[in-house]
Structures are given as structure tokens and as C-alpha cells.
Amino acid sequence: MTKGGRTLAVATVLLLLGITLAPPLQRYFTQRAQINALNAQLHDSQGTLQKAAQDLAKWDDPAFVAAQARSRLHYVYPGERQYIVLGAPDSITKDPNAPAAPIADNIPTGLPWYNKVVASITTTNLMQNP
């Protein structure tokens, strides 16, 4: 065999080897990319699962359940009364530490209850539009 013939034979063998190995190598790299994507998705799902488990653990606390029932469902304990004030000014509702409605300090004593209610409304200025 001549030098040109050997080169052609080696080139042909390398070409056939490349054609034979190309599809498996392509599948390998595609599968590695899929595995990496699934591992990232698994990591995200585990973080979401841990957060959900922490949220679920909060519901085992009776104080948390009572607080949620009071805020979401407007439940009250026996003997308590709840008043919901509609149309309260924004300055009242923006402060989370403030009471739900302003409390009147100068309610006259010795009046019937309905006069006290009217006096408390007029002294806190809720009847007027801001």
C-alpha cells in the first residue's frame, strides 16, 4: 500500500468511527442536560416542600389557628363582640399596630348605651368624609 492509500484508509476508518459514535455522544449530552434540569427542578421542589411543611406545622399551634380564625373568618371568643367598621379613613387602616377603629376617650357617663354609641361615633369623627 502506498502512503496515499494508507492515509485514505485511516481517514475512512476515522470517518466511520465518527459517524458511528456521533449519535450516542449526542444522546449522552442531551441526557446529561435533562438530568441537570431535573436536578434543578428537584432542588426547587424540595425548597417548596420544606416551606409548605413549615406552613403546615404552624397550624399545629392552637394560638395560630385562633389568630387565623379571628382575622380571616371574623370569629370571636364567647363573651366578646366584634364590630366591623366600613369606610374607615386610610390613616386608620395603614398602621397594623393601631386598633381596628379609633377609640373615643371623652364619652360622657350616665347616658343610655345608645347615646354612648352615638357619642363615640361623633367624637372619633368617623361619620364625616375625609
Residue 40 belongs to a domain: yes
- pLDDT tens profile 100-128: 556 666 667 777 888 878 877 775 554 44
Of the candidates 105, 106, 104, 96, the residue with the CA atom closest to the CA atom of residue 126: 104
**What is the tens place of the pLDDT at every residue in 70-88?**
888 888 889 888 887 777 6
For residue 32, what are the domain limits? 3-53
Q: How confident is the model at residue 55 (pLDDT cuts 50, 70, 90)?
A: very high
The answer to the question of residue 38 being in a domain is: yes
| Domain annotation covers residue 20 | yes
The band of 60, judged by pLDDT with boundaries at 50, 70 and 90, is very high
Write the CA distances from 25 to 20, 21, 36, 72, integer angstroms: 10, 6, 17, 58
Q: Average pLDDT, stretch 54-61?
A: 93
pTM for this prediction: 0.42
C-alpha cell, 56? 403546615
pLDDT of residue 88: 63
Cell numbers for 2, please give them.
502506498
Counting the structural domains of the chain, the total is 2
In a domain, 71, yes or no: no
Assigned domain for 27 exists: yes
Is 29 within the bounds of a domain?
A: yes
CA dihedral 54, 60, 63, 68 (to 10 degrees): 70
- The pLDDT score that the predictor gives to residue 95 is 62
Closest C-alpha to 112, from 120, 123, 122: 120
The confidence score (pLDDT) of residue 49 equals 96
Q: Is residue 73 part of a domain?
A: no
CB atoms within 10 A of CB 126: 19
The reply to whether 74 falls in a domain is no
Average pLDDT, the chain: 82
Which of 28, 53, 78 is the endpoint of a domain?
Answer: 53
